[in-house]
Copies of this chain bind each other. A is one copy, B any other.
Amino acid sequence: MAFSAPDLDVWTKLNQQAAVMQQPDHHLKYLVAAPGRFAEFSRTAVDMLFDFSRQRLNRTVLELLFALAENRQILKKFAAMAAGEFVNVTEHRAALHMATRDFSSDSIFLNGQNILSEMREVNRQIRNFVEQVHRGDITGSTGKRFRYVVVIGIGGSYLGTEFVSTALKAYAAHDISLLYLSNVDIHNFGSIVRDIDPEATLWLIISKSYTTAETMSNEALAREFMREKGLNPSGHIVTVTSKGSPGDDPANPVLRSFHMFDCIGGRYSVSSAVGGVPLSLYLGYDLFERFLKGAEQMDRHALDTPAQDNIPLTSALVSVWNNNFLKYPAQAIIPYASPLSRLAPHVQQLNMESNGKRVTAEGDFLDEPCGAIIFGEPGTNAQHSFFQLAHQGRPFPIEFIGVLQPQYSQYHTTSKGVSNHQELWANLLSQPMALAVGKDADDPARYFPGNRPSSTLILKDLSPESVGKLLSFYEAKTVFEAFIWGINPFDQFGVELGKVLAEGIRKEMAARNQDKAHAFDAVDPISRHYLNALFEDKTV
């Protein structure tokens, strides 16, 4: 890594420890059997347990990791981020996602403006608007109550909200269905308009710049669809966008427009108006606020707790250990809770877009890749899917997540002497241990090598507060990892090249739409083959 000398010293020692950890006598089956293992390698904070006792590390490693955190001053950087410093150095911006749920401060000044009071004003507007929708004071253009909210947005304007709305579905009580039109794919649009009543549909268009290609294409389709149905689009469209963007232009009247801010990146935006509008429509503003308060609790913990007891920070150190020293290229997130089924896709974006980088914030190339491949499905489903590979194939670390008190506790029926929730927990407890300990066998096909690391995260329940804590946990973890690596987790230049090339292809297509004789001579021969296939609608 592009580190200074004292860091490099710790880095070298960690590499030495990684070599020690590869010795047979450091197999996880021995580590987990040590007395006091759980107590030493687990932490509880804000009603959440983070247990890393089944990670392949010992006290020496942990102390070195904390030394690394100390040397890299990551808590100080985190505080600077919270205070509004321009930590997004390449784009000269602050990263103030935590401000959206800061109920304890009065002001954070950014370019001379109190950004906190601006954010609170947006939330007041959201509450006001949503209450009018729920009361039926604001309706569709023909007077029908809104019963469908279609969120048009992609990436960060979608995945976080989808994670939270899926997690809190049990709380939805306003007879409003929330649908996501993210992909420019016509199938996404076609399958949504099958299911809605156009007169009772609110289209919520989310784009900071209001120029995102996919979102604008879908907005155009939605407007056309409403006109076809004899509806006035301006009575059915709400926007969440930057002040003064084309989506916030009085020349294009819409039902309501809510502001988002440059200091909050898409993948960190679910606690801003980006999540606030759809989640409040779906759940009610009060539940959205409970979600914010949960996130704030974890934010406070991450900000104020020394490294040794700081759970997102410790979790970030474990990731760095697995990634850079034990050399695992991927990590799975397996929640034993179906409502968390969209957590992995959210964290996949949050973490891989933030930390899938090859340069430091100062612009130096890194010596080794940082950022892991993140994937996951809920347990026990995953056990019946890809856990064969987890147990006997290529190893990868896993983050197990459990919930103590389920949302639907009224279903008690037992099978084999245990309730479904207990059966779920029997599996949640068994898998990390089976992965860690393994099993000898005479038959090689039945031999389990073990030594496969995992953490376990336990939430008290799936209340809005707990989901807020979980969101904040992964945001803080992602940022802490980045600060250890010295990278900027808030830019994403890696998505630019594809956009530039798509612009060129789009122009070629538009030219052909205008002129049937337009040939694709300017395009590379491989892409040309595809363009001809598409326009001649022939078998490829």
Task: Report the copy number of this chain in the oligomer.
Answer: 2
Out of B154, B185, B186, B369, name the residue touching A393 (CB < 8 Å).
B369
Chain B residues closer than 8 Å to A506, beta-carbon distance: 416-418, 422-423, 426
**Is there an interface contact between B513 and A418, defined as CB atoms closer than 8 Å?**
yes
Closest Cβ neighbor of A213 among chain B residues = B423
Chain B residues closer than 8 Å to A14, beta-carbon distance: none
**Is there an interface contact between A502 and B448, defined as CB atoms closer than 8 Å?**
no
Instruction: For chain A, residues 335 to 359, give those with C-beta under 8 angstroms from any C-beta of chain B.
Output: 336-339, 345, 348-349, 352-359
**Is there an interface contact between A389 and B495, defined as CB atoms closer than 8 Å?**
no
**Nearest Cβ on chain B to A151's Cβ, whole angstroms:** 13
**Is there an interface contact between B356 and A388, defined as CB atoms closer than 8 Å?**
yes
**Is there an interface contact between A420 and B185, defined as CB atoms closer than 8 Å?**
yes
Chain B residues closer than 8 Å to A231, beta-carbon distance: none
**Is there an interface contact between A170 and B191, defined as CB atoms closer than 8 Å?**
yes
Q: Is A56 an interface residue (CB 8 A)?
A: no
Take A386-B353, A449-B358 as given contacts and tell me if A191 and B214 are in contact as well, using a CB distance cutoff of 8 Å: no
Out of B170, B187, B337, B415, name the residue touching A216 (CB < 8 Å).
B415
Q: Is A494 an interface residue (CB 8 A)?
A: yes
Q: Is A453 an interface residue (CB 8 A)?
A: no
Take A188-B338, A505-B426 as given contacts and tell me if A384 and B156 are in contact as well, using a CB distance cutoff of 8 Å: yes
List the one stretch of A127-135, A272-280, A284-292, A439-447 in contact with chain B.
Answer: A439-447
**Nearest Cβ on chain B to A271's Cβ, whole angstroms:** 19
Q: A405-436 vs B: 1/0 string, CB under 8 Å?
A: 11111110111111111111111111101100
Q: Is A71 an interface residue (CB 8 A)?
A: no
Q: Is A539 an interface residue (CB 8 A)?
A: yes
Closest Cβ neighbor of A529 among chain B residues = B38
A441 to B357 alpha-carbon distance, docked (Å): 15
**Nearest Cβ on chain B to A60's Cβ, whole angstroms:** 21
Q: Which 9 A-B pairs have the closest CB atoms?
A: A356-B389, A155-B384, A190-B408, A417-B510, A356-B393, A392-B494, A430-B501, A375-B375, A352-B386
